[in-house]
């Protein structure tokens, strides 16, 4: 198949790609040793396990490789529906104890997280409130999301992916502040979570360590929004996003792409989410 026959075809998306009419905007952070990590999860570590010159082949060639150790909820990642239970039950009333026997989940594991090619919406709450970043420990309410949606001229609908910008990604290089163990972290409250669920979104994400309102001094003591989204409604959660470039570009509605690793029986997966927009 030649480029000429591709561009003459009926697939508008393929034509746009072939004609270089699309632009890619990164929505996540690179995975780096020492990056901020919730104390509830093992951190990300990467080091070279073999270096060039450790073994040289007869033709003079040499290869290097690494070892990676990480939790499933470190850096930019997505939660599987097995991640949170409530009163012993996972989404759909599945018994959590039974499902996790054998060291991995037999149901709702990370391998079941869907590849997402969906309509994405950026609800830029920080921009709407006129600040670079929301205050530590500030609750994001349903009204905040409604105001951000109105400002963007969009309405969340069934199957969408909704990303909430707090501006908190600009603190990513300051782990103590970013994790908010003392001062808290801005995030959606239960009312905001229920509003998203009522819209029928397939996934929701934010540029913080947890898709939760974390008040000062509370840490991750409870996860009510995780319960609403994951357990009650089967909605995947995306965390540790970096939405600064998307905000700078004024994104509101875009094609969202996310490919999780198919980690059998896991509770989450690292991802590299992107927005695809017209060039």
Quick: pLDDT tens for 211-231: 999 998 766 678 999 999 999
Pick from 139, 158, 264, 247: which is nearest to 203 by CA? Answer: 158
Pick from 244, 253, 205, 241: which is nearest to 126 by CA? Answer: 244
d(CA 23, CA 238): 22
d(CA 203, CA 31): 22
pLDDT of the residue at 126: 98
Residue 277's H or E segment, with its range, is strand 274-278
Quick: pLDDT tens for 43-98: 999 999 999 999 999 999 999 999 999 999 999 999 999 999 999 999 999 999 99
d(CA 18, CA 7): 7
- Above 80 in pLDDT, residue 149? yes
- Above 80 in pLDDT, residue 4? no
pLDDT of the residue at 52: 97
d(CA 177, CA 213): 15
Quick: pLDDT tens for 38-52: 888 999 999 999 999
- Above 70 in pLDDT, residue 3? no
Confidence of residue 9 (pLDDT cuts 50, 70, 90): low
Pick from 245, 253, 240, 242: which is nearest to 151 by CA? Answer: 253
- Above 90 in pLDDT, residue 132? yes
Average pLDDT over residues 271-278: 96
Average pLDDT of the chain? 94
pLDDT of the residue at 13: 82
The DSSP line for 85-117 is -BTTB-GGG-BHHHHTGGGS-SSS-GGGSPPEE
Quick: pLDDT tens for 168-192: 999 999 999 999 988 999 999 999 9
- Above 90 in pLDDT, residue 7? no
Pick from 75, 76, 25: which is nearest to 247 by CA? Answer: 25
pLDDT of the residue at 62: 97
As a whole-number percent, the residues of the chain with pLDDT over 90 amount to: 87
């Amino acid at each position: 198949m030649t480029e000429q026959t591709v561009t003459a075809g009926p697939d508008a998306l393929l034509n746009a790609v072939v004609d270089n009419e699309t632009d890619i905007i990164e929505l996540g952070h690179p995975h780096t040793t020492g990056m901020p990590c919730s104390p509830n999860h093992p951190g990300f570590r990467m080091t070279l396990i073999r270096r060039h010159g450790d073994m040289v082949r007869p033709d003079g060639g040499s290869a290097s490789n690494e070892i990676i150790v990480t939790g499933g909820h470190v850096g930019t990642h997505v939660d599987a529906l097995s991640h949170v239970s409530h009163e012993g039950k996972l989404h759909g009333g599945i018994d959590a104890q039974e499902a996790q026997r054998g060291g991995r989940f037999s149901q709702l594991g990370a391998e079941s997280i869907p590849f997402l090619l969906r309509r994405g919406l950026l609800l830029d709450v920080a921009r709407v409130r006129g600040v670079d970043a929301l205050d530590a420990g500030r609750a994001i309410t349903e009204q905040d999301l409604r105001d951000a949606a109105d400002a963007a001229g969009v309405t969340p609908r069934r199957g969408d992916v909704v990303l909430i910008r707090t501006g908190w990604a600009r603190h990513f290089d300051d782990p103590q502040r970013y994790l908010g163990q003392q001062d808290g972290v801005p995030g959606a409250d239960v009312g905001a979570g229920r509003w998203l669920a009522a819209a029928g979104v397939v996934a929701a994400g934010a540029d913080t360590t947890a898709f939760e309102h974390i008040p000062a001094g509370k840490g991750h003591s409870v996860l009510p929004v995780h319960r609403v989204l994951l357990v009650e409604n089967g909605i995947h959660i995306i965390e540790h996003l970096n939405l600064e470039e998307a905000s700078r570009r004024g994104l509101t509605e875009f094609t969202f792409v996310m490919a999780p690793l198919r980690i059998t029986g896991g509770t989450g997966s690292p991802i590299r989410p992107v927005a695809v927009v017209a060039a």
